[in-house]
């Protein structure tokens, strides 16, 4: 017996045409997705990890039938996102983080009730579910508050509930904890885990650029950058890729300007596979992926030669961030949506 994939994409691509301010200007093309092959099985908590502008939201928009692909195909629960959009919508829901949308003049309960009715829920069932979900995320006391009177965090929580009210088969969570405080984000993650535990046949696709969130929640992860899928495995499997490498975090005196010649770069030191540099409070913080511990001496010598003294050094186990750096050559906090390669190399 073959089981149907919850989500499947084949050579999926999307190109945006961006018009300039002048009418006669030819539109510029922005490749948001290219050649994405992905299969998410039913019952999986699947993560898409990538920086801003990597193509995560574009992929979600295509899968939720908001956007047409320009190349390839995609199915959700075996149905084509282009030709069978209406049927897909009966079984999916989407929640975007940082979202404060909603009919401000309606109360929380009314907003949720309205969306529940759009999915065809009976009024009684809708109200019962709204009550339960509001209890779980801790906004039951605000059910009669108008949306316009809610804080950003509370609005986000309301939108989060909206995504689960219809009891969907596939849920798309696009950066669900974006902008939430630590405690609220923890609450959201706990809810997601609990919901999946109670509904093991459902599927959840999560996009995030928070490594810890992806590590904590997802059964499998895909790393995406500049519209391309770079790797796909379990979090452990991805980290295992770096098992042979040595990973160090160094804090050194500010490195100053990037050397003009290539030989002056840290990457030119033998054994250095990847390096990222962040400037923090009067120091430079380096994440090094080395082919082995032997390479560290060379790096320290290089830094000394550039007059940058060592402030602290830590060897650590590979994290998803290291995997990302290894694959992409930069950290996750870099926006690549405007063509900036974001390379923090020095």
Shortest Cβ distance from residue 262 to other proteins (Å)?
40
Shortest Cβ distance from residue 127 to other proteins (Å)?
7
- Biggest CA pair distance of the chain: 73
Is 37:59 a contact under the CB 8 Å cutoff?
Answer: no
CB nearer to other proteins: pick between 92 and 289 = 92
CB nearer to other proteins: pick between 67 and 289 = 67
Query: What residues line the site for other proteins (CB under 8 A)?
Result: 16-17, 61, 64-68, 86, 89-90, 92-94, 96, 99-107, 109-110, 113-115, 117-120, 122-123, 127, 144, 162, 166
The dihedral built from the CA positions of residue 209, 97, 237 and 194, taken in this order, carries a sign that is positive
Shortest Cβ distance from residue 300 to other proteins (Å)?
49
Shortest Cβ distance from residue 105 to other proteins (Å)?
5
Shortest Cβ distance from residue 32 to other proteins (Å)?
9
Q: Which of 92, 111, 215, 219 is nearest to 157 (CA)?
A: 111
Is 153:138 a contact under the CB 8 Å cutoff?
Answer: no
Is 6:168 a contact under the CB 8 Å cutoff?
Answer: no
CB nearer to other proteins: pick between 114 and 230 = 114
Residue 271 phi/psi, 5-degree rounding, is 90, -10
CB nearer to other proteins: pick between 60 and 269 = 60
CB nearer to other proteins: pick between 17 and 316 = 17
Shortest Cβ distance from residue 22 to other proteins (Å)?
14
- Provide CB contacts within 8 A for 301, sequence distance 6+: none
Residue 175 phi/psi, 5-degree rounding, is 50, 60
CB nearer to other proteins: pick between 113 and 191 = 113
């Amino acid at each position: 017996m073959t089981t149907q994939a919850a989500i499947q994409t084949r050579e999926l691509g999307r190109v945006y045409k961006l018009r300039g301010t002048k009418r006669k200007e030819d539109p510029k093309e922005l490749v948001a997705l290219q050649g994405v092959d992905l299969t998410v099985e039913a019952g999986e908590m699947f993560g898409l990890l990538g920086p801003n502008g990597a193509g995560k939201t574009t992929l979600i928009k295509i899968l939720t039938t908001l956007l047409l692909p320009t190349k390839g195909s995609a199915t959700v629960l075996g149905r084509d996102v282009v030709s069978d959009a209406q049927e897909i919508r009966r079984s999916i829901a989407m929640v975007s983080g940082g979202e404060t949308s909603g009919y401000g003049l309606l109360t929380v309960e009314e907003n949720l009730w309205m969306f529940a009715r759009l999915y065809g829920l009976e009024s009684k069932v809708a109200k019962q579910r709204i009550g339960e979900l509001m209890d779980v995320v801790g906004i039951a006391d605000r059910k009669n508050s108008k949306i316009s009177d809610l804080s950003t965090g509370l609005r986000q929580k309301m939108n989060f509930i909206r995504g689960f009210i219809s009891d969907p088969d596939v849920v798309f969570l696009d950066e669900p904890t974006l902008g939430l405080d630590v405690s609220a984000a923890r609450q959201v993650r706990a809810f997601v885990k609990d919901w999946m535990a109670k509904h093991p046949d459902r599927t959840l696709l999560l996009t995030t650029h928070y490594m810890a969130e992806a590590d904590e929640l997802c059964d499998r992860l895909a790393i995406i950058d500049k519209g391309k899928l770079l790797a796909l495995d379990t979090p452990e499997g991805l980290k295992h890729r770096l098992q042979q490498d040595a990973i160090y975090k160094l804090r050194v005196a500010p490195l100053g300007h990037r050397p003009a010649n290539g030989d002056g770069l840290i990457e030119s030191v033998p054994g250095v596979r990847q390096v990222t540099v962040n400037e923090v409070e009067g120091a430079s913080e380096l994440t090094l992926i080395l082919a082995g511990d032997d390479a560290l001496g060379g790096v320290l010598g290089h830094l000394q030669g550039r007059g940058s003294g060592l402030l602290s050094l830590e060897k650590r186990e590979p994290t998803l961030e290291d995997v990302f750096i290894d694959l992409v050559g930069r950290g996750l906090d870099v926006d690549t949506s405007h063509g900036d390669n974001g390379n923090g190399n020095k």
